[in-house]
Structure formats: structure tokens, C-alpha cells
Amino acid sequence: MKWIGLALCALVLLLRPWLPGLVVAIGYLYGSIVIVNLTVLLVRKLRDLLFWRVRHRLLGAFVFAGLIPLLLILGMVYFAGRILAGQLASDYLQDSVQDLARELTWIDVDLAQRTASLPAADLGRVAGEIFKQHDSKFPSLAAPLIRVGQDGASEVLGKCDPSGRAPARAFRRPS
């Protein structure tokens, strides 16, 4: 009877362009039920072939009732740990970047305060001294020396690169 249902499902699949929608839907539903039923019968038959002794049945019960859930739990713990470690690493990176930005802001404030009233010729020397103070944390610290006038216009007075490692594009005037 089940094979007839499977054949009927295949017939509905072949003739679906010419059949009404309700007949096709009922055919799909009936075919799905037949396929599930055949799959259950196949699994039972395979189980009977593989676990034909009581010892094998106990072993199968142990694997399906004990080992597989344990593996699933261990997998969930592993992935939860990976997600937690990723979140902690992201938070650590964000805090580190914010700390570096804060330190660079203080260097910038120090540079601005100490060079506000200096002539253009002394800017490079004073900036170099300030950069050398922070050389342990920022070994390749460099900056263009720009002064903003009263009218809001900025002029590039030079560059300060004590380490000589900054690329030339770092000193281009922003557009």
C-alpha cells in the first residue's frame, strides 16, 4: 500500500501543471506522509539488522541516550566559551584603543599649550622634545605642524618626525 502511495505522489509531481491546485496540495501532503512512513520503516529495518542481539541494543541505547547528549552539551559549552572570549577580546581592544586615543589627545594638548606662542622656527624642536618624551609608548609618533590663524585659515609650518618612519602621505594637507 505504501508503494502505491509513493507512486501516486510521483504521478502528482509529474502531472501537476495540468491538475487543480487542491489536488496537487493533497498529493504533496499524502506523499509527504508516505515518505515519512517509509523512512520510519527503513530505520526500523536497519535497526533490526544492526542490533540483533541484546548486547548491541544496550550499546545503541547507551550511545543515543548518553553519549550524544553529552557531546551536544560539550559543543554548546565550547561555542559559548568562544563567544564569551570574543566578546571579552572585543571589549579589551575597545578599551585599549580608547586609552591610546586619550593619551594621544593629552600629547596633542601638551603640544598645543607649549607651542601656542612660539615662533614657527622653534615649533619643530619643541615638538621633537615632546615626541621624544613619549617615544616608549609611541615610537613612530609624527605630526604635521599646522597653525590656525585668527581668520580660521590654517597653514602648514612644517613636519615633526623624530623617528623618520612616517610615510610622506601623513604630511599632506587635508582637503
Q: What is the pLDDT of residues 84-126, one digit of tens each?
A: 999 999 999 999 999 989 998 888 888 888 877 778 777 788 8
Q: Over the chain, what is the mean pLDDT?
A: 81
Q: Are 142 and 170 in contact (CB under 8 A)?
A: yes
Strands 143-148 and 154-160: antiparallel
For 107, list phi and psi in degrees, rounded to 5: -65, -45
Cα 31 from Cα 39, distance rounded (Å): 12
Confidence of residue 82 (pLDDT cuts 50, 70, 90): very high
pTM for this entry: 0.49
Q: Copy the grid coordinates of residue 119.
A: 615662533
At residue 40, does pLDDT exceed 60?
yes
Residue 78 is predicted with a pLDDT of: 96
Question: What's the per-residue H, E or C state across 136-165?
Answer: CCCCCCCEEEEEECCCCCEEEEEEECCCCC
The better pLDDT of the pair 159, 27 is held by 27
Cα 13 from Cα 5, distance rounded (Å): 12
Q: Are 47 and 66 in contact (CB under 8 A)?
A: no
At residue 54, does pLDDT exceed 70?
no
Confidence of residue 43 (pLDDT cuts 50, 70, 90): confident
Contacts 24+ apart (CB under 8 A), 1-9: 2/34, 2/37, 2/38, 2/41, 5/30, 5/31, 5/33, 5/34, 6/31, 6/34, 6/35, 6/38, 9/34, 9/35
